[in-house]
Amino acid sequence: MLHHDALLPSACRVSMRCLSTVTRWLAAGLLLIGSAARAAEPGTADPMTERLAACAACHGSEGRTVGDTYYPSIAGKPARYLYAQLVNFRDGRRQHTIMAAMLANLSDRYLGEIATFYARQPHAAQPVFDGATAEQLATGERLTRQGDPARKIPPCQACHGEALTGVEPAIPGLRGLPVRYLDAQISAWKQGARRATAPDCMGQIAKALTGAEITAISAWLASQPYAPDARPATSLPAPLPLDCGGVLP
Protein backbone atom coordinates (compact mmCIF):
# COMPACT_ATOMS: atom_id res chain seq x y z
CA MET A 1 0.00 0.00 0.00
CA LEU A 2 1.20 3.43 -0.86
CA HIS A 3 1.60 5.59 2.21
CA HIS A 4 -0.51 8.70 1.67
CA ASP A 5 2.41 10.91 2.74
CA ALA A 6 4.19 9.92 -0.44
CA LEU A 7 1.58 11.78 -2.44
CA LEU A 8 2.26 15.10 -0.75
CA PRO A 9 5.05 17.44 -1.81
CA SER A 10 8.00 16.81 0.48
CA ALA A 11 7.74 20.18 2.20
CA CYS A 12 4.26 19.23 3.38
CA ARG A 13 5.08 15.86 4.91
CA VAL A 14 5.19 17.40 8.32
CA SER A 15 1.62 18.49 8.66
CA MET A 16 2.16 21.43 11.05
CA ARG A 17 4.83 22.91 8.87
CA CYS A 18 2.54 22.75 5.91
CA LEU A 19 -0.26 24.27 7.93
CA SER A 20 1.94 27.08 9.13
CA THR A 21 2.99 27.84 5.56
CA VAL A 22 -0.66 28.03 4.63
CA THR A 23 -1.41 30.33 7.57
CA ARG A 24 1.48 32.50 6.64
CA TRP A 25 0.17 32.97 3.11
CA LEU A 26 -3.30 33.54 4.44
CA ALA A 27 -2.01 36.13 6.84
CA ALA A 28 -0.04 37.74 4.05
CA GLY A 29 -3.15 37.85 1.91
CA LEU A 30 -5.25 39.43 4.65
CA LEU A 31 -2.60 42.00 5.33
CA LEU A 32 -2.52 42.92 1.67
CA ILE A 33 -6.28 43.25 1.51
CA GLY A 34 -6.34 45.37 4.62
CA SER A 35 -3.31 47.20 3.22
CA ALA A 36 -1.84 47.30 6.72
CA ALA A 37 1.28 48.77 5.19
CA ARG A 38 3.16 49.14 8.44
CA ALA A 39 3.41 45.40 9.17
CA ALA A 40 6.94 44.39 8.14
CA GLU A 41 6.79 43.20 4.52
CA PRO A 42 3.98 40.64 4.50
CA GLY A 43 4.76 37.20 3.15
CA THR A 44 8.52 37.53 3.34
CA ALA A 45 8.88 35.94 6.75
CA ASP A 46 12.24 36.89 8.20
CA PRO A 47 14.05 33.65 9.13
CA MET A 48 15.04 35.38 12.36
CA THR A 49 11.43 35.07 13.53
CA GLU A 50 11.75 31.30 13.46
CA ARG A 51 15.29 31.22 14.84
CA LEU A 52 14.09 33.25 17.81
CA ALA A 53 10.90 31.31 18.54
CA ALA A 54 12.55 30.57 21.90
CA CYS A 55 12.45 34.26 22.81
CA ALA A 56 8.84 34.59 21.67
CA ALA A 57 7.82 32.18 24.43
CA CYS A 58 8.28 35.04 26.91
CA HIS A 59 8.64 38.22 24.86
CA GLY A 60 5.84 37.54 22.42
CA SER A 61 6.03 37.16 18.70
CA GLU A 62 8.52 39.67 17.25
CA GLY A 63 9.26 40.90 20.76
CA ARG A 64 5.89 42.44 21.58
CA THR A 65 4.37 41.63 24.93
CA VAL A 66 1.05 43.13 25.85
CA GLY A 67 -0.88 43.40 29.08
CA ASP A 68 -0.15 42.81 32.72
CA THR A 69 3.01 40.80 32.42
CA TYR A 70 6.49 41.05 33.80
CA TYR A 71 8.07 40.22 30.47
CA PRO A 72 9.17 43.45 28.86
CA SER A 73 8.39 44.27 25.28
CA ILE A 74 11.64 44.45 23.33
CA ALA A 75 10.29 45.41 19.89
CA GLY A 76 11.37 48.77 18.55
CA LYS A 77 13.93 49.57 21.27
CA PRO A 78 17.24 51.08 20.13
CA ALA A 79 19.51 48.37 18.73
CA ARG A 80 22.56 49.22 20.76
CA TYR A 81 20.56 49.30 23.96
CA LEU A 82 19.19 45.81 23.22
CA TYR A 83 22.63 44.53 22.35
CA ALA A 84 24.06 45.87 25.62
CA GLN A 85 21.28 44.11 27.56
CA LEU A 86 21.92 40.77 25.85
CA VAL A 87 25.60 41.02 26.66
CA ASN A 88 24.76 42.09 30.23
CA PHE A 89 22.53 39.05 30.79
CA ARG A 90 25.14 36.73 29.30
CA ASP A 91 27.92 38.22 31.40
CA GLY A 92 25.99 38.46 34.69
CA ARG A 93 25.45 42.23 34.99
CA ARG A 94 21.71 41.54 34.74
CA GLN A 95 20.17 38.46 36.28
CA HIS A 96 17.76 36.07 34.66
CA THR A 97 18.69 32.41 34.80
CA ILE A 98 16.93 31.16 31.69
CA MET A 99 18.00 34.12 29.56
CA ALA A 100 21.60 33.86 30.70
CA ALA A 101 21.66 30.13 29.90
CA MET A 102 20.16 30.75 26.46
CA LEU A 103 22.66 33.44 25.57
CA ALA A 104 25.70 31.75 27.12
CA ASN A 105 27.15 30.36 23.91
CA LEU A 106 25.93 32.86 21.35
CA SER A 107 28.55 35.00 19.63
CA ASP A 108 28.65 38.79 19.97
CA ARG A 109 27.89 38.93 16.29
CA TYR A 110 24.71 36.88 16.57
CA LEU A 111 23.63 38.93 19.60
CA GLY A 112 24.09 42.03 17.44
CA GLU A 113 21.91 40.54 14.72
CA ILE A 114 19.26 39.61 17.27
CA ALA A 115 19.29 43.16 18.66
CA THR A 116 18.95 44.64 15.17
CA PHE A 117 16.08 42.30 14.38
CA TYR A 118 14.05 43.37 17.42
CA ALA A 119 14.94 47.05 16.99
CA ARG A 120 13.30 46.93 13.55
CA GLN A 121 9.98 45.54 14.80
CA PRO A 122 7.01 47.83 15.45
CA HIS A 123 6.24 48.56 19.12
CA ALA A 124 3.49 46.93 21.07
CA ALA A 125 0.43 49.00 21.94
CA GLN A 126 0.36 48.80 25.74
CA PRO A 127 -2.89 49.29 27.58
CA VAL A 128 -2.75 52.28 29.92
CA PHE A 129 -2.24 51.47 33.61
CA ASP A 130 -5.17 52.71 35.69
CA GLY A 131 -4.15 51.79 39.22
CA ALA A 132 -2.14 54.88 40.19
CA THR A 133 -3.18 57.21 43.03
CA ALA A 134 -3.40 60.95 42.43
CA GLU A 135 -0.45 61.51 44.73
CA GLN A 136 1.67 58.97 42.84
CA LEU A 137 0.77 60.65 39.55
CA ALA A 138 1.80 64.07 40.87
CA THR A 139 5.12 62.86 42.34
CA GLY A 140 5.85 60.72 39.30
CA GLU A 141 5.22 63.50 36.83
CA ARG A 142 7.27 66.03 38.82
CA LEU A 143 10.31 63.77 39.11
CA THR A 144 10.13 62.66 35.49
CA ARG A 145 9.75 66.14 34.06
CA GLN A 146 11.80 68.24 36.47
CA GLY A 147 13.93 65.83 38.45
CA ASP A 148 15.10 67.07 41.84
CA PRO A 149 18.08 69.40 41.38
CA ALA A 150 18.71 69.62 45.15
CA ARG A 151 19.33 65.86 45.27
CA LYS A 152 21.19 65.81 41.93
CA ILE A 153 18.40 63.88 40.19
CA PRO A 154 18.14 65.05 36.56
CA PRO A 155 14.78 64.89 34.78
CA CYS A 156 14.30 61.53 33.07
CA GLN A 157 13.54 63.28 29.81
CA ALA A 158 17.02 64.79 29.64
CA CYS A 159 18.30 61.36 28.65
CA HIS A 160 15.26 59.35 27.61
CA GLY A 161 14.13 61.97 25.09
CA GLU A 162 11.56 64.77 25.18
CA ALA A 163 8.73 62.30 24.46
CA LEU A 164 10.35 59.57 26.63
CA THR A 165 10.50 57.31 23.59
CA GLY A 166 14.26 56.80 23.93
CA VAL A 167 17.19 58.16 21.94
CA GLU A 168 19.16 56.31 19.27
CA PRO A 169 21.38 54.40 19.48
CA ALA A 170 21.55 53.32 23.12
CA ILE A 171 18.93 54.90 25.41
CA PRO A 172 15.65 52.97 25.71
CA GLY A 173 12.18 54.48 25.77
CA LEU A 174 10.20 54.47 29.01
CA ARG A 175 6.81 54.22 27.33
CA GLY A 176 4.82 51.05 26.88
CA LEU A 177 6.60 49.11 29.61
CA PRO A 178 4.60 47.10 32.16
CA VAL A 179 4.36 48.93 35.51
CA ARG A 180 5.70 45.90 37.40
CA TYR A 181 8.68 45.76 35.11
CA LEU A 182 9.52 49.46 35.50
CA ASP A 183 9.35 49.27 39.28
CA ALA A 184 11.44 46.09 39.40
CA GLN A 185 14.15 47.47 37.10
CA ILE A 186 14.68 50.79 38.86
CA SER A 187 14.62 48.98 42.23
CA ALA A 188 17.13 46.44 40.92
CA TRP A 189 19.46 49.32 40.03
CA LYS A 190 18.96 50.78 43.49
CA GLN A 191 19.95 47.45 45.05
CA GLY A 192 22.80 46.77 42.64
CA ALA A 193 21.16 43.72 41.06
CA ARG A 194 21.08 45.42 37.65
CA ARG A 195 24.14 47.19 36.35
CA ALA A 196 24.95 48.91 33.08
CA THR A 197 28.29 49.71 31.50
CA ALA A 198 30.26 52.03 33.86
CA PRO A 199 29.78 54.85 34.63
CA ASP A 200 26.31 53.51 35.44
CA CYS A 201 24.21 56.71 35.50
CA MET A 202 20.94 54.83 36.08
CA GLY A 203 22.45 53.21 39.17
CA GLN A 204 23.35 56.64 40.51
CA ILE A 205 19.85 58.01 39.88
CA ALA A 206 18.05 54.97 41.30
CA LYS A 207 20.11 55.07 44.49
CA ALA A 208 19.07 58.70 45.01
CA LEU A 209 15.34 57.83 44.74
CA THR A 210 13.26 56.38 47.59
CA GLY A 211 11.21 53.22 47.13
CA ALA A 212 7.97 55.21 47.17
CA GLU A 213 9.29 57.59 44.53
CA ILE A 214 10.27 54.67 42.30
CA THR A 215 6.75 53.28 42.60
CA ALA A 216 5.28 56.71 41.82
CA ILE A 217 7.46 57.23 38.75
CA SER A 218 6.65 53.76 37.45
CA ALA A 219 2.93 54.31 38.00
CA TRP A 220 2.99 57.68 36.23
CA LEU A 221 5.02 56.39 33.28
CA ALA A 222 2.73 53.39 32.77
CA SER A 223 -0.38 55.60 33.02
CA GLN A 224 0.50 57.77 30.05
CA PRO A 225 -1.26 57.04 26.76
CA TYR A 226 1.21 55.66 24.34
CA ALA A 227 1.44 55.73 20.57
CA PRO A 228 2.84 52.37 19.47
CA ASP A 229 4.40 53.80 16.31
CA ALA A 230 6.52 56.28 18.28
CA ARG A 231 10.20 55.81 17.42
CA PRO A 232 13.24 56.70 19.50
CA ALA A 233 14.48 60.27 18.93
CA THR A 234 17.49 60.48 16.66
CA SER A 235 19.53 62.73 18.92
CA LEU A 236 19.67 64.03 22.47
CA PRO A 237 17.97 67.36 23.27
CA ALA A 238 21.14 68.55 25.07
CA PRO A 239 24.35 66.99 26.39
CA LEU A 240 23.75 64.24 28.98
CA PRO A 241 23.37 65.65 32.52
CA LEU A 242 25.41 62.69 33.86
CA ASP A 243 27.98 60.42 32.23
CA CYS A 244 26.52 57.13 31.03
CA GLY A 245 28.77 54.27 29.87
CA GLY A 246 28.34 52.93 26.35
CA VAL A 247 25.85 55.59 25.28
CA LEU A 248 27.89 57.91 23.11
CA PRO A 249 29.27 56.47 19.88
Partner 1 sequence: MKRRLIATGAALALAIAFSTWLNQPELAAEDIAPATGASATLEQVTAGEYLTRAGNCGACHSAPGGVPFAGGRRIATPFGDVYSSNLTPDDETGLGRWSEADFYRALHLGQSRDGRLLSPAFPYTSTTKISRADSDAIFAWLRTLPPVAQVPPPSTLEFPYDSALALRVWRALNFRPAKAADIAAMDRGAYLVEALGHCGECHTPRGRLGGLQTASRLMGGPIASLGWDALPIAGPDPAESADRGDAERAALLKTGVSRRGAVSGPMSEVVFHSLQYLRDDDIAAITAYLRAQPLAAPPPAPRVPQVSAETAKAQRREGATIYREHCESCHGGEGQGRPSIYPALAGSRIVNAVSATNALRLTLAGGFPPSTEGNPQPYGMPPFSHQLKREQIAAVLTYIRSAWGNDAPPVSVIEVERQ
Site string for ligand HEC, 123-162 (x = CB under 6 A): --------------------xx---------x-x-xxx--
Which of positions 161-180 make contact with partner 1 (CB under 8 A)?
Answer: none
Of 185, 161, 156, 165, nearest in space to 72 by CA? 185
78 contact, one of partner 1, ligand HEC, none, CB 5-8 Å limit per kind: none
Among residues 205, 216, 219, 233, which is the contact residue for ligand HEC, using CB under 6 A? Answer: 205
Query: Between 17 and 151, whose beta carbon lies closer to partner 1?
Result: 17
Count of residues in contact with partner 1, rule CB under 8 A: 31
Which of positions 162-201 make contact with ligand HEC (CB under 6 A)?
Answer: 171-172, 174, 177, 182, 184-186, 194, 196, 201
CB of 191 to ligand HEC, least distance (A): 12
Q: Is residue 14 at the binding interface for partner 1, with CB under 8 A as the rule? A: yes
| Contact (CB, 8 A) for 221 and 177 | yes
CB of 142 to ligand HEC, least distance (A): 10
Q: Is residue 142 at the binding interface for partner 1, with CB under 8 A as the rule? A: no
Alpha-carbon span 91 to 89, nearest angstrom: 5
